[in-house]
Amino acid sequence: MDFLTPVIDGFGVVLEPANLLYCLLGVVVGMLVGVLPGLGPAATIAILLPLTFGVEPVTAIIMLAGIFYGAQYGGTITSVLLRLPGEASSVVTVFDGHALALKGRAGTALGIAAIGSFVGGTVSIVALSLLAPVVAGFALDFGPPEYTALALLGILLVATVSNGGRVKAIVAACLGLLLATVGRDMFTGAERFTFESLSLADGLDFVPIAMGVFGLGEILYNLEERRKGAVAPARVANAWPSRADLRQSSGAIGRGSVLGFFLGILPGGGATLSSLAAYALEKRRSKTPERFGHGAVEGVAAPESANNAAATSSFIPLLTLGIPANATMAMIFGALMIQGVTPGPQLVSEDPDLFWGVVNSMYIGNILLLIMSIPLVGLFVKILRVRGSILAPITVLITLVGVYTVRNSVFDIALVVVFGLVGYLMKKFGFEPGPLVLAFVLGSLLETSLRRSLLVFDGDPTGFLTRPISGTLFLLLAVVVLLPLAQKLFRARRGTARAEREKADA
What three-state secondary structure class fits 191? strand
pLDDT band at 206 (very low <50, low <70, confident <90, very high): confident
pLDDT at residue 302 tops 80? yes
Whole-number Cα distances in Å, 98 to 292, 353, 414, 432: 12, 42, 42, 26
Q: What is the average per-residue pLDDT within 182-208?
A: 82
Q: What is the average per-residue pLDDT within 102-124?
A: 83
What three-state secondary structure class fits 184? strand
| Residue at 418: amino acid letter | V
pLDDT at residue 175 tops 50? yes
Can you tell me the distance from the alpha carbon of 222 to that of 91, in angstroms, rounded to the nearest whole number?
16
Give 385-403 pLDDT, tens digit per residue.
566 677 678 778 767 776 7
H helices then E strands: how many in the chain? 23, 2
Domain-by-domain residue ranges, the chain? 4-466, 467-506
Burial 302-316 (b: 16+ CB within 10 A, else e): bbbbbbbbbbbbbbb
Can you tell me the distance from the alpha carbon of 354 to that of 318, in angstroms, rounded to the nearest whole number?
13
Q: Determine the Cα angle at 392 with ends 389 and 396, to 5°.
A: 145
- Residue 233 φ/ψ, nearest 5 degrees: -65, 145
* Average pLDDT value over all residues in the chain: 78
Helix axes 166-180 and 144-160, enclosed angle (nearest 10): 140
Q: What's the pLDDT at 163? A: 52
What three-state secondary structure class fits 377? helix
pLDDT band at 268 (very low <50, low <70, confident <90, very high): low
Under 8 Å between Cβ of 253 and 141: no
Q: What's the pLDDT at 421? A: 92
Give 339-365 pLDDT, tens digit per residue.
888 787 778 777 888 888 888 888 888
Can you tell me the distance from the alpha carbon of 341 to that of 320, in angstroms, rounded to the nearest whole number?
12
For residue 385, give the DSSP letter: T
Q: What's the pLDDT at 203? A: 82
Q: What is the average per-residue pLDDT within 54-79?
A: 81
Give 23-40 pLDDT, tens digit per residue.
898 888 888 777 665 566
Burial group, residue 55, by CB count within 10 angstroms (0-12, 13-18, 19+) = middle
Can you tell me the distance from the alpha carbon of 34 to that of 20, in angstroms, rounded to the nearest whole number?
21
pLDDT at residue 227 tops 70? no
What kind and span of H or E run contains 192? Answer: strand 191-192
Q: What is the average per-residue pLDDT within 466-483?
A: 82
Quote the radius of gyration of the chain (alpha carbons, Å).
Answer: 23
What kind and span of H or E run contains 259? Answer: helix 243-265
109-113, 144-148, 256-260, 499-503: least confident range: 499-503
For residue 389, give the DSSP letter: H
When mean pLDDT is compared over 45-54, 156-165, 413-422, the highest value belongs to 413-422
pLDDT band at 188 (very low <50, low <70, confident <90, very high): confident
Q: What is the average per-residue pLDDT within 319-324?
A: 78
pLDDT band at 160 (very low <50, low <70, confident <90, very high): low
What kind and span of H or E run contains 441? Answer: helix 433-456
When mean pLDDT is compared over 92-96, 136-140, 155-159, the highest value belongs to 92-96
Helix axes 17-35 and 57-82, enclosed angle (nearest 10): 30
Q: Which of 305, 391, 310 is nearest to 37 (CA)?
A: 391
Between 171 and 395, the higher pLDDT residue = 171
Q: What's the pLDDT at 159? A: 63
pTM above 0.85, yes or no: no
Can you tell me the distance from the alpha carbon of 297 to that of 99, in angstroms, rounded to the nearest whole number?
10
Can you tell me the distance from the alpha carbon of 313 to that of 353, in angstroms, rounded to the nearest whole number?
19
Q: What's the pLDDT at 384? A: 53
pLDDT at residue 230 tops 50? no
Q: Determine the Cα angle at 166 with ends 160 and 170, to 5°.
A: 80
198-207, 271-280, 296-305: least confident range: 271-280
Between 420 and 293, the higher pLDDT residue = 420
pLDDT band at 236 (very low <50, low <70, confident <90, very high): low
When mean pLDDT is compared over 132-136, 204-208, 385-389, 402-406, the highest value belongs to 204-208
Whole-number Cα distances in Å, 436 to 159, 276, 419, 441, 491: 9, 22, 11, 9, 31
Q: What's the pLDDT at 270? A: 63
pLDDT band at 418 (very low <50, low <70, confident <90, very high): very high
Give 65-77 pLDDT, tens digit per residue.
888 878 777 777 7
